[in-house]
Structure 1
Amino acid sequence: MEQPSYELTTLFDQLGLPSDDKAIDDFIMAHPLAPEIKLVDADFWEEHQRVLLKEWMRADGEEAVVVDQLNVRLHDGK
C-alpha cells in the first residue's frame, strides 16, 4: 500500500483554506510572521487549524516537514 504524499496543498486542504499555488502564495504574503511568533501562536488561525498544525508537527514524518515549510515561508514572507 502506497503512503500518502504530503504537500502544502494537502495541508491547506486540511486547514480548510484554498489550496491552489496562487492562493497559498497569497496567504503567505498576507500573513507574514515576526521571528518571535511561533507558527501555532499566530492570531490568524482558528482553533481547529491550530490543533491540526500541532498534530502534523507531532507526526514527525512528511506532515511535519510540510508544516516546517509553511513555517519558514510565513517567517520569510514569501
Structure 2
Amino acid sequence: MEHTHHPLSELFEQLGLESGHDAIEHFISSHSLPENIELANAPFWSQPQASFLKEEWHADSDWAEVIDQLNIRLR
C-alpha cells in the first residue's frame, strides 16, 4: 500500500484552520504543549479536530507522519 505524503498545510486545511505559511507559523508560535499532554488532548482543539488527530494517528493513517511533525513543533 502506498502512503500519501501530506504537508502541514493540508493538515491545517483538514482541521479547518488557516493553512498559509504565516498562519501556520503563528499558530505554532502561539500554542505549546507540555510533554505530559497528548496532542489530541490539547485544550485548543475543538472536539472534531481532536477526534481527527487521535483517530488518524492511532490508525497510523497517511496523516500520522504530519500529525507527528505538528506534535514535535508544538513542544
**Pairwise same-fold verdict (TM > 0.5):** yes
Does the CA-based 8 Å contact 2:4-2:62 persist in structure 1?
no
Alignment of 1:40 with 2:36, yes or no, is no
Q: Where does structure 1 differ by over 3 angstroms across 4 or more consecutive aligned residues?
A: 2-5
How many Å apart are 1:54 and its aligned residue? Answer: 1.3
Alignment of 1:13 with 2:13, yes or no, is yes
CA distance in 2, matches of 1:29, 1:21: 12
TM alignment of 1:1-78, pairs within 5 A:
4-75=4-75
TM-score of the superposed pair, with normalisation by structure 1: 0.84
CA distance in 1, matches of 2:54, 2:5: 19
Instruction: Name stretches of at least 5 consecutive residues in structure 1 with no aligned partner.
Output: none
- Larger relative helix fraction: 1
Instruction: Name stretches of at least 5 consecutive residues in structure 2 with no aligned partner.
Output: none
Cα-to-partner distance string for 1:25-62 (whole Å, 9 max, x where unaligned): 10011101111111011100000000110122033243
Q: State how many pairs are aligned.
A: 74
Identity %: 46
CA distance in 2, matches of 1:58, 1:27: 24
The RMSD of aligned alpha carbons is: 1.6
Q: Which secondary structure does the structure 1 equivalent of 2:26 belong to?
A: helix
